[in-house]
Chains A and B, each alone.
Chain A
Amino acid sequence: MKILVPVKRVIDYNVKVRVKADQTGVETANVKMSMNPFDEIAIEEAVKLREAGVATEIVAVSIGMTQCQETLRTALAMGADRAILVETAAEIQPLAVAKLLKAIVDKEAPQLVILGKQAIDDDSNQTGQMLAALLNWPQATFASKVTIANNEAEVMREIDGGMETVAIKLPAIITTDLRLNTPRYATLPNIMKAKKKPLDVMTPDALGVDVTPRLKTLKVVEPAKRKGGVMVADVAALIDKLKNEAKVI
């Protein structure tokens, strides 16, 4: 079974993002970039399925600028077998990502696509569900446990108020939540090996996909700052403040 895993290059989760002075977006120059954390979990899950003998090949896909090759090399070092970059400098929104991925799924015919549930830059949480819709495949979003057997995926999902287990027929889409697994670190020998693994580059045009954005960003601003609070000396002072100043108890 072949598994496709899309990965996105985003500002590293430890970086404090800064809004540009001209309000057109956030500062990305000279900022550390990494693989979206949920996509690392997706790669890890695919590698685990291959180690368990369920999967035979893992193809990592990224969409974006040339530098996304670094993200793909990380995926290869973690255990993906080969990589595809859809190279473009244009802004690609989730609907266009889903269309590009559909075109790649049509070529590659995987049985499973595992995606991160959301990217930590635009926080959209859409792409997996959209890809499932375009392919008319079932979906199991926000996965915290995955078992594959008898041409079905049994997936435990994180929902509001608890957990839900769904059984979906393959081929299918799974999106990862935080607690599905703990991604491995790429070891130095594996990083070296990853440099020799195949990485194909193609363009949205070659895949026949119109990637014109549907949403226009008019401005990006910083959130309103909370006013600095006060430190209180003891519990009695805290209760006094909550009762008489904030009036919340």
Chain B
Amino acid sequence: MATLVIAEHDNETLKPGVTNAIAAAHKIGGDIHVLVAGSHCAGAAAAAAAVSGVSKVLVVDSPSYATAVAENLAPLIVGLAPAYSHVLASASAYGKNVLPRVAALLDVMQISDIVAVESPDTFVRPIYAGNAFATVQSSDKIKIITVRSTGFDAAPGGGTAAIENISAGVDAGNSRVVKQELTKSDRPELAAAKRIVSGGRGMGDGDKYRSVLEPLADKLGAALGASRAAVDAGFVPNDYQVGQTGKIVAPELYIAIGISGAIQHLAGMKESKVIVAINKDPEAPIFQVADYGLVGDLFTLVPELTAAL
């Protein structure tokens, strides 16, 4: 039994989520290999080799993998898969895009977004926006799995895996990345942040979102997040969204400000260790999941909190 973990990376470093997927592979048991497919990706390969428990890193360095094109990555992974009992990736936008394509080519039903490993063929995954948890058993020969990062503590460093170069597959030639516009920020990445300050419709507009929440996030060294309502209203970019269809987060501290707490939002943050809610409506559902609730005008309370920290 051996597991292949597909690493998402920027050629230099591993993305958050990869070490959590490796941790899930530990729970399954057996050898763990990591695939780093990229272009000039020696840095990412070295980072993967340094993760505890990894015995081998397979590196494929080719312009075909400069961007994460599923049409090119899937056949490569399909070619490697028969040597493994499990193929894992983080349930990030990358993993969700690539892995089902691999599964279908192998005639396997993917197990999406697992939060626990019961045995090598049985896993727990959330359904209905996390309002229920299903324990599912796979009868497929190769298990293709995406891993919800919040379910597994990241595997630590200290590993010394062997690095092996493998040859590239054929470029499918039917898809190309025209451009990427990534949000530039000095803050921690939302998916991996230990503290998150999140704003909702109650922020009023984008300027107020920034002027009220950024100083608090700066003080706490926190990432910024948002509810769907705040994203739909254009206060912040799409990738700020926390929720069922946005990012699933579980920081040590989640401060929900002006967020009423729709079930779709709760689905994305209710595994957080400590939840603070600040809202003017004492009936807001967010208070039902909050450890500490503060009712009042956020435009007074948040600056007060920032100043007092």
Contact = CB atoms under 8 A, between A and B. Distances in A.
B127 A122 contact: yes
Contacts of A248: 195, 252-253, 273-274
Contacts of A236: 308
A22 interface: no
A205 to B, nearest CB: 19
A33 interface: no
Contacts of B113: 123, 125
B43 interface: no
Interface in B206-259: 220, 228, 231-232, 237-239, 244-245, 247, 252-253
Contacts of B176: 166-167
Given A160-B94, A231-B287, A231-B294, A242 B274 contact: yes
Q: Contact size class for B?
A: 35 or more
A223 B133 contact: yes
Nearest to A144: B238
Given A93-B109, A125-B112, A221 B132 contact: yes
B300 to A, nearest CB: 9
Nearest to B91: A125
Interface of B: 15, 67, 69-71, 74, 92-94, 96-105, 107-113, 122, 126-140, 172, 174-183, 189, 191, 195, 220, 228, 231-232, 237-239, 244-245, 247, 252-253, 263-264, 270, 273-276, 282, 287-295, 301, 304-305, 308-309
A164 B177 contact: yes
Interface residues of A, number: 80
B103 A158 contact: no
Given A94-B109, A249-B253, A138 B174 contact: yes
A169 B69 CA distance: 13
Interface in A88-141: 93-95, 98, 117-118, 120-134, 137-141
Contacts of B239: 158-163
Contacts of B293: 229-232
A123 B138 contact: no
Interface string A223-249: 100101111101110110110001011
A235 B178 contact: no
Given A121-B128, A215-B139, A226-B275, 7 more contacts: A38-B245, A95-B103, A138-B172, A161-B182, A168-B174, A216-B139, A229-B292
Contacts, number: 254
B253 to A, nearest CB: 4
A152 to B, nearest CB: 10
Contacts of B71: 138-139
A165 B112 contact: no
B292 to A, nearest CB: 5
Contacts of B104: 95, 98, 129-131, 133-134
A214 interface: yes
A220 B109 contact: no
B291 A229 contact: yes
B93 A123 contact: no
Contact of B127 (A123, A132, A214): A123
A64 to B, nearest CB: 17
A222 to B, nearest CB: 6
Nearest to A139: B70
A217 interface: yes
B180 A162 contact: yes
B181 A235 contact: no
